[in-house]
Amino acid sequence: METCVRDRQVPPTSYRPAPAFDYETEALRHCEQGKLYLEMGRYPEALEQFEQALTAHPHDIESWYNRADALACLGRYDVALQSLEQGQELAGFADPRFWVQKAALFILIHQPEAALNCCNHVLLRSPNHRQAWLFRGVALHRLGQVRAAYRSYQRVAQSDLPPIAESIQKLCHDLAAHHQAS
């Protein structure tokens, strides 16, 4: 008995359909390559990788953050701020890294009041965030509030930061003093 299959296409036994293109994996690959370029100081190449990552997956929060880093290294601060704001919107404004990086950029573009607001936002949620205390000190220093700046610097220099309740109390005291000085 013979089987006739001449009118049907029979795929080879090793045939497997090509997997669907995974945009998230492609974005991750470009993002990681971009991070390597950042570490090597190759900022234009890093930026290109982050742009490709965002083309593949426009909602990748990490790529928005790193894109801002590359842009800042290239001196494109305004575009870097836009990138941070896009990432913050996607992250729900909860990630302190975005706020701290925004504070640093605001300091670079001579907007210490905006930098101070970003740092205070972080410190209200994470009172022991050392980078926020540091940039808060820089912002206060730029605003001419040297004593308050040094209090912030001291909190960075302390090996053991005070308990959260005490730290929040000190932050509120500093905010009140800043408000009265304004």
A 10 A CB-CB count for 181 gives: 11
Tens of pLDDT, residues 7-60: 656 555 565 554 555 788 888 999 999 999 999 999 999 999 999 999 999 999
Region 70-82: mean pLDDT is: 96
Question: Can you read off the two tokens belonging to residue 9?
Answer: 């296409």
> What are the domain boundaries of the chain?
22-94, 98-182
Residues 6+ apart with CB under 8 A from 100: 118, 119, 122, 129, 131, 132, 135
Max Cα-Cα span within the chain: 100
What was the pLDDT predicted at 163? Answer: 61
What was the pLDDT predicted at 1? Answer: 45
Mean pLDDT of the chain: 85
Q: How confident is the model at residue 165 (pLDDT cuts 50, 70, 90)?
A: low
Q: Which CATH superfamily is domain 98-182 in?
A: Tetratricopeptide repeat domain (1.25.40.10)
Domain pair 22-94 / 98-182, same fold? yes
DSSP annotation string for 95-110: -HHHHHHHHHHHHHTT
What was the pLDDT predicted at 8? Answer: 59
pTM for the whole structure: 0.74
If one looks up domain 22-94 in CATH, what number appears? Answer: 1.25.40.10
* 153, 138 contact by CB (below 8 A): no
Lowest mean pLDDT among 13-17, 58-62, 98-102, 170-174: 13-17
A 10 A CB-CB count for 44 gives: 11
Instruction: Measure the CA–CA gap between 172 and 47, rounded to whole angstroms.
Output: 39
